[in-house]
Amino acid sequence: MEFEISNSVVKEYRPPKEKMNPWEPDFFLHEKEIQADGRIKPVNTIFLTNRECPFKCVMCDLWRHTLDEPTPKGAIPHQIKYALDRLPKADVIKLYNSGNFFDGKAIPRQDYDRIAGLLSSFEHVIVENHPKLIGRFITDFKDRLPGSFEIAMGLESIHPNVLPKLNKQITKKDFIDAVSFLSQADISTRAFILLNPPFLTDENENIEWCLKSVEFAFDAGVSACSVIPTRDGNGIMDHLRKLGEYLPPKLTALETVFDEALKLQKGRVFCDVWDLEKFSSCNDCIGARKSRIEKMNYTQTVLPTVECKCY
């Protein structure tokens, strides 16, 4: 059955949204991540509260913790300070805003100076952004930072029947053009890639296209890829699952993709471990499997597989 995707259809299936305070970040955490030069560095990640992303991708649930109105001026610097006052020191900072850092209604451009001032002690800054939101405002912001700058962008999937249906409103060329513009401005990039996007329901094809998408992103010039197992729970994905248009990935498929993507040796590959239990059917080995993936995220090497009677 053909299911027509539009912004209104995506919104129609949504469960209620949470009420957010624009003066406090949604969440923040301290972690460690291996850098492009191979060194493991402390990273502060702040999930900012801001105006909802204007794109309405089918698989997205980031809108849950966003505002309906444009973010008030001054709120983002206030949130960053709030989080940094409570976080330990770190060399790297990720500002993730459930959308696009260079959407002026999400992160007001009048705040760039104050934001850059708060980030001045970090040697590397990472934000997320849509591949089509590219322009002078990016270099204007980057020029205010003393350290290096990186932008994470969703490529999602290069499958020809999937990417146009995700409502992401990008093509493969848009992604290549964005990476090329950014690299000319000395800005590094990373890609988010989905395992088991909606509209692809064959297990083997999902592994194959996830790896093809990782390879495509590296060939475009990204320095890292983050593989995200696609989840339901946002309303429309649950509906697509009922229609047989979405199949949750198995943990073993994620492991295969991670092993093979690392073996490409084209750049760093990370695997999202949030809510990993959702993709496992065995309580005996989930702990060991999760810890193997976490160690592989740090070491960027393929570790021995976990043996269990379940597989």
199 is an interface residue for ligand SF4 by CB under 6 A: no
Q: Between 187 and 306, whose beta carbon lies closer to Zn ion?
A: 306
The residue range among 53-61, 80-88, 203-211, 270-278 that interacts with ligand SF4, by the rule CB under 6 A, is 53-61
* 127 alpha-carbon distance from chain centroid: 10
Considering only 11-19, 90-98, 256-264, 281-289, which stretch makes contact with Zn ion by CB under 5 A? Answer: 281-289
**Residue 57 found at the interface with ligand SF4 (CB under 6 A):** yes
Is 56 a binding residue for ligand SF4 by CB under 6 A? The answer is yes
DSSP β-bridge partners for residue 33: 41
Segment near ligand SF4 (CB under 6 A), from 26-34, 49-57, 256-264, 286-294? Answer: 49-57
* CB closer to Zn ion out of 186 and 277: 277
Q: How far is the CB of 269 from ligand SF4 (least distance, A)?
A: 20
- Considering only residues 221 through 260, tell me which ones interact with ligand SF4, judged by CB under 6 A: none
Which one among 29, 40, 282, 303 touches Zn ion, defined by CB under 5 A?
282
Q: DSSP of the chain, one letter per residue?
A: ------HHHHHHTPPPPPP--TTS-SEEEEEEEE-TTS-EEEEEEEE---BPPS---TT--GGGG-BSSPPPTTHHHHHHHHHHTTSPP-SEEEEE-SS-TT-TTTS-GGGHHHHHHHTTT-SEEEEE--TT--SHHHHHHHTT-SSEEEEEEEEE---TTTGGGGT----HHHHHHHHHHHHHTT-EEEEEEEES-TT---HHHHHHHHHHHHHHHHHHT-SEEEEEE----SSHHHHHHHTTS--PPPHHHHHHHHHHHHHT-SSEEEE--TTGGGG-S-TTTHHHHHHHHHHHHHH-SPPPPPP-TT-
Q: Does 284 bind Zn ion (CB under 5 A)?
A: yes
Q: Does 124 bind ligand SF4 (CB under 6 A)?
A: no
Min dist CB 79 to Zn ion, Å, is 41
Q: Does 53 bind ligand SF4 (CB under 6 A)?
A: yes
Report what 285 binds from ligand SF4, Zn ion, none; CB cut-off 5-8 Å by kind: Zn ion
Q: Does 264 bind Zn ion (CB under 5 A)?
A: no
| Residue of 22, 25, 99, 267 that binds ligand SF4 (CB under 6 A) | 99
Footprint of Zn ion (CB under 5 A): 282, 284-285, 308, 310
Residues that bind ligand SF4 (CB under 6 A): 53, 55-57, 60, 62, 98-99, 130, 154, 168
